[in-house]
Structures are given as structure tokens and as C-alpha cells.
Amino acid sequence: MLLRGWPVVLAVAAAAAGILVWRVLRVAAQRRRAAERVAALRITLAQFDAMGDEEFEYALRDLLIRDGWSARKVGQGGDQAADVIAQHPHHGRIVVQAKHTRVGGKVGSSVMYQVNGTAGPVHGADHAVVVTNGAFTHNAKQWGDRHNVRWIDRNQLLRWAEHGTALQELLRLPARARRMPLRRVAA
């Protein structure tokens, strides 16, 4: 009975294999198109200015993804000064606090204090960054520089988002030191 039905079994197996190959190729094409869209991502300052707060956070996430980070938007009420958290194989973990302002708005030192207090202890970050489409007060920039809270103002945002400079290049992020495996000492 099985010997007489082999053409049918062969036809079903071939059809199943064809469907599997088609699905794999379709998924690969979708991923390739998405990667091409992200790689070509450029956002102008005018586009940032027209965004709402949440759109701004998603845009920053997408820029991180474009630059090779695996990033997710986490910002919402009670986010403990983290709107986007990202991981990079060579640069470690970064916490981004987004401050979308009206044109001409300035971000003050209090934001830097909050990010500094939570980036490492709460979110396990190697790097903390505050990004705005506006500007920072002089005190905020100085405080951030002294306490290793990096900042991206309107001019740097232009270089990152519109000109395509990768974040790690823009901020000159060091490569994370490789952790040495623990060795047991013979007693």
C-alpha cells in the first residue's frame, strides 16, 4: 500500500518543502528591507521639533538601532530617568533620557542629577546620555562633563540624526573592557 502511494507522499513532501522555503525567503526579505530602512534613517531637526515626547523617544531608539545597538523604548511614568535602554556588543549598555523641548528650550542640571543617580545603580548602564532637540544650560553641561553624564544638544543631534554620525563616534564611547573569566586557584 505504501509503495503504491509514494508519488503522493513525495508530492506532499515537496509541497511542504516549497512552502517552508517560501516562508524563510519572505522573512529574510522583510528583515533585509527593515534593515535597509533603518540604515538609511535620517531625521531632520524640523522633524524632531514637530514630534511629541513619545515620538521623540521612538526616534532616538531607531537611531540607536541604525548604529548597531539593540535598543528598546522604556520611557513612561516612573521610568527612573530612562526613556531608551540599549546594548552594544563593544560599547556595553547605554541609558538615554530624552528631553523634547519647544524650540529654544533648555534642559537644566536637575535632569543630569536624576540620570546620574539611576543610570548605573538602577539600569546597570555603562553610559548615561541626555538628548534634547533644544539646548542645555551652562551648569548642566559642566555638571554632566564632571560626572560622566554625556549630553547631546541640538547641534550634536544634527550630526547624529541628519548627517548619520554613529552615536558611539559622536560621543567617543570607549570599547568596553572584556571581562576575564574567573580562574580557580588550586588550594
Question: pTM for this one?
Answer: 0.74
**Does the pLDDT of residue 39 top 90, yes or no?**
no
Q: Can you give the pLDDT at residue 36?
A: 65
Range of the domain at 30: 1-40
Residue 77 sits in the same domain as residue 35: no
Provide φ and ψ at 58, rounded to 5°.
Answer: -65, -40
- Contact between 100 and 132 under an 8 Å Cβ cutoff? The reply is yes
Residue 1 sits in the same domain as residue 72: no
Q: Taking residues 76-88, report their average pLDDT.
A: 85
Q: Can you give the pLDDT at residue 182?
A: 43
**Does the pLDDT of residue 179 top 50, yes or no?**
no
Residue 185 lies in a domain: no
Predicted confidence band of residue 180 (pLDDT cuts 50, 70, 90): very low
What lies within 8 Å, CB to CB, of 27 at 6+ separation is: none
Residue 83 lies in a domain: yes
Q: Taking residues 93-104, report their average pLDDT.
A: 92
Q: Can you give the pLDDT at residue 34?
A: 58
Q: Can you give the pLDDT at residue 181?
A: 45
Q: How many domains does the chain contain in total?
A: 2
**How many alpha carbons fall within 13 Å on the CB side of residue 141?**
9
**Distance from C-alpha of 101 to C-alpha of 109, rounded to nearest angstrom:** 15
Residue 22 sits in the same domain as residue 58: no
What are 106's strand-pairing partners?
Answer: 135
